[in-house]
Amino acid sequence: MMQTWPVRLLTHEYVALVLRLYIGGLFIYASMYKIGYTAEFAEIIASYRLVPYWMVNFLAVFMPWFELVCGVLLIIGFRAKSAVVLIGGMLVLFTIAVVINLWRDSPIPCGCFSSVEDPISWWTAGRDLVWVAMTVHIYYFDKILHLENHFTSKIEKIA
Amino acid sequence: MDRRNTATSSPSPRPGLSGERLAFQLDTLFETISELSQLADPVVVMEQFVLMSMGALGTAQGLLAVQDRLTGESQLIKRGLPALAEKQIQRALQILSGKLGDTGDILSRQALVVTVNEHNQALGLPDDVHVVVEWYLDDRRVGLLGYGQKINGSPYDRHDEDFLLRLASALMDALAVAYVQETIRGLNETLMSRNKELQQALQVSQDIQASLDRRYFHFKAVCDTTSELSANLHVSTLLPSFLLSVMGTFSAQQGIIVLWNRAEQTIDKVARGYSEENVPSLDAQRLESVFRELLHPPFIPSQGKKHFLILDEEALKNLELAEAMEMGGAFFVDENWYGLIGLGNCLARTEGVQAEHELMSALLQGFLVGLGNALAFETIETLNADLLQKNAELRQTLDELQQSRQTITLLEAAGQRISTMLRSETMRIKRVSLFDCLAMALVSLVLALVFNASSPGGISLLPETWGQPRPDFIDVPWARLKHESQGALFLDARPVEFFNQQRIAGADNLPLNLFDFVYAMRFAMLDPDKDIIVYGRNISRRYDELVAAKLTERGMANVRVLEGGLQQWLRNGLPVEP
């Protein structure tokens, strides 16, 4: 069954590539500040009031690097499926956290890219949902310019 | 015919004869008998008898004829008779012989006077014959005795007839003896000639025997050599075997045999009886020149030609192969294989050169057959060895192929497995994998920990409150009293956003993140003994404990933490703001 051109356009692999690069770059960019300012990021996590106090510092140390690794792997296309799933999962958690704090009416910044930001809002949650949608798109339609394809294609030829 | 008187063997003297005459006749008869008895040849007997009887009878003419009825031969002795009388006498003998066949009543040793003093017409004898005596020696021989007229002209009387009969009797006796002797002599001669022939035959037989012995020896030598060679299928043992056999056959003390492969330029040489320094040296060049001299280029034997050449002493000397070589031969199997054999110091050379050459030819022929077989066998052995080697190589190749096939099968299976693994791996890496997620988390964790430990902006992974002494707590009712009496300073330790959102009425904000700045600005001059009640904590942060600890560090003596915090305060319905 022939697909209509808008569907084909939306589901095109180049669109997925662009989204992949965007999301990957976004996470790399977001991790830069958090890695450099671990203590501030810990305060951001704590401000969400969702994580037990004994786990806040650990997450502040671990999360930025996790975002960086996932973003880098997503961009270069190595274990991209797993990376995009993890990024999507993180975005879902972030969105939930934002929604919860919006529901609590917490006067906290998002803390996504820096510690000095406007307080979270439904726009923040909507933005996160858009990013989640992008990861879904990437998950299903991203196929080209993967680093591992460079090897797997040869392996597939050999196999 | 007038038969007047007959006599058989010994007629007795007749009465009336004078004594002298009788004595004379008896003497004559005795002498005749004596004389004739000494003679052995019948012809001589007859001749002697004729002469003696003519003298005794006193006549000048006499004849004596005898005929052998079996052979038809006749013998005639005549004296004083013409030559033409022979035919008449022969005819008379024929008649006499025929008469003997007709009558058949003639006795042996019988004589009879058929004519006296007259011409005998019946027998047709010459006219000069006046007395005719027929005598019959036996069934075989008959004869005539005739005399002419007496010289004194007197006729023959009865005494003469008697005397004549006695003489005839004596003649027959002598002839009988002479014939017997002649027969014996003839038999002797025959016997001697037979003996001679027998001796000659014996000599011939001995020669033939010697020749046969020689032939047998040759044949045996050839047979022995051939049988010995036929069982020998290796050139290396064939050559010495043949050489020793030939040396033994010719009783040679020295011998050498050389086999030259012209194509491969290899020489097999065997020498016997030579000292080490005297062994003839024969290299390929020398053999080339020898065979070029013996044969003619290109040394290829023509069809049907002998494959050997017997070399006599002279030829060997000309070739200058070795000293004192007496017999030898050159041979060739084909255009590649040539050979020489030479024998020296032969001890017994009694046989002729021809026989030796024949023997050597026979031996060489047998040897060439054996040599051809040996060379063919060696060729077959070489081919067999090649075949075995090729078989072994083929078997090895087959084994290697089998192993290669097994290896290929294993490799194919391994390849298939690897291919399956690779395919599943490629499929796996394109799917979401828990392992990948955990790996990424682990890598991130390691990087985070390493960076946090090495970075100056690193933070402690454990809550700071775990390392601090437990602060003093104040319960909400007591704090309420303090609040109502304003006996204590209430400090909100939360961030300013939360402080601004809701706080205990009258509380001041001393946020943990801005503690140093705010403390220095607003609380540096605070009385150290001032009661201070700190509150503000949530699931993620214990701001109250941290701020209380810092205040204690600054020297504040009465710092307490509100137990239950703002939530407990609110639950008790105590005043908050805004």
In a domain? residue B195: no
On average, the pLDDT of chain A sits at 88
Residue reference for tokens 């969105």: A95
**CATH assignment at residue B526:** 3.40.250.10
Picking from B429, B497, B513, the nearest residue to A107 by CB comes out as B497
Question: Are B167 and B57 found together in one domain?
Answer: yes
Question: Are B350 and B493 found together in one domain?
Answer: no
Q: Do the bridges between strand B489-492 and strand B508-509 make them parallel or antiparallel, or are there none, so unpaired?
A: parallel
In a domain? residue A68: yes
Mean pLDDT by 10 residues, chain B (578 residues): 45 59 86 86 88 88 88 87 83 82 69 82 80 86 88 85 88 86 87 93 90 84 82 84 88 88 86 82 80 66 67 80 80 83 78 79 86 86 91 92 91 86 76 88 94 88 81 86 87 88 88 87 85 88 88 87 88 86
Question: Are B88 and B172 found together in one domain?
Answer: yes
In a domain? residue B196: no
pLDDT tens digits, one per residue of A48-82 = 989 998 999 999 999 999 999 999 999 998 888 88
Tally of domains within chain A:
1
Question: Are B11 and B140 found together in one domain?
Answer: yes
The helix/strand/coil state of B307 is coil
For residues B259-290, one letter each, b for 16 or more C-beta atoms within 10 angstroms of the residue's C-beta and e for the rest, the string is bbbbeeeebebbbbbbeeeeebebeeebbeeb
Selected for mutation to probe chain A from B541, B543, B544, B567 (highest A CB count within 10 Å) is B541
B340, B287 contact by CB (below 8 A): yes
In a domain? residue B445: no
Q: Which A-chain residues 54-73 have CB contacts (< 8 A) with chain B? A: 54, 56-58, 60-62, 64-66, 68-70, 73
Tally of domains within chain B:
3
In a domain? residue A57: yes
B458 vs A contacts (CB less than 8 Å): 38, 61
In a domain? residue B433: no
- In residues, how long is chain B? 578
Q: Do A53 and B420 count as a contact with CB atoms less than 8 A apart?
A: no
Range of the domain at B543: 464-577
B438 vs A contacts (CB less than 8 Å): none
Picking from A49, A62, A105, the nearest residue to B448 by CB comes out as A62
Q: What is the pLDDT of residue B173?
A: 87
What is the secondary structure of B70-84 as a DSSP string? TT--EEEEEESS-TT
Q: Do B430 and A81 count as a contact with CB atoms less than 8 A apart?
A: yes
Nearest to B564 by CA among B555, B552, B554, B574: B574
In a domain? residue B450: no
B388 close to A (CB below 8 A) = no
B347, B253 contact by CB (below 8 A): yes
Q: Which two three-digit tokens encode residue A41? A: 């990021």
Q: What is the pLDDT of residue B8?
A: 47
In a domain? residue A8: no
B539 vs A contacts (CB less than 8 Å): 49-53
Higher pLDDT, A27 or B139: A27
Question: Are B157 and B273 found together in one domain?
Answer: no
What is the secondary structure of B378-417 as a DSSP string? HHHHHHHHHHHHHHHHHHHHHHHHHHHHHHHHHHHHHHHH
B567 Cα to chain A: minimum distance (Å): 14
User: With 0-12 CB in 10 A as exposed, 13-18 as middle and 19+ as buried, what is B462?
Assistant: exposed
Residue reference for tokens 């792997």: A73
Picking from B418, B440, B465, the nearest residue to A69 by CB comes out as B440
Strand partners, B67: B74, B142
Question: Are B375 and B513 found together in one domain?
Answer: no
> What CA–CA distances, in Å, run from B349 to B18, B140, B303, B318?
89, 63, 34, 21
In a domain? residue A157: no
Question: Are B371 and B486 found together in one domain?
Answer: no
Nearest to A46 by CA among A102, A109, A90: A109
In a domain? residue B370: yes
In a domain? residue A9: no
B453 close to A (CB below 8 A) = no
Q: How far apart are CA B148 and CA B127, in angstroms?
A: 9
Strand partners, B6: B112
A158 close to B (CB below 8 A) = yes
In a domain? residue A158: no
In a domain? residue B440: no
Question: Are B25 and B171 found together in one domain?
Answer: yes
Question: Are B175 and B26 found together in one domain?
Answer: yes
One-letter amino acid of B261: N
Question: Are B379 and B242 found together in one domain?
Answer: yes
Q: How far apart are CA B572 and CA B310, in angstroms?
A: 152
Q: Do A39 and B539 count as a contact with CB atoms less than 8 A apart?
A: no
B509, B499 contact by CB (below 8 A): yes
In a domain? residue A126: yes
B445, A60 contact by CB (below 8 A): no
Q: How far apart are CA B12 and CA B29, in angstroms?
A: 13
Question: Are B152 and B9 found together in one domain?
Answer: yes
In a domain? residue A24: yes
B339 Cβ partners below 8 Å, 6+ apart?
B257, B258, B259, B260, B330, B331, B332, B333, B371
Alpha-carbon dihedral angle through residues B352, B358, B360, B362, given to the nearest 10 degrees? -150
**CATH assignment at residue B307:** 3.30.450.40
Range of the domain at A80: 14-150
> What CA–CA distances, in Å, run from B454 to A35, B14, B199, B448, B576?
12, 204, 146, 10, 45
Q: What is the pLDDT of residue B3?
A: 43
- Here the ipTM equals 0.92
One-letter amino acid of B218: H
What sign results for the dihedral spanned by CA atoms B234, B235, B241, B242?
positive
In a domain? residue B485: yes
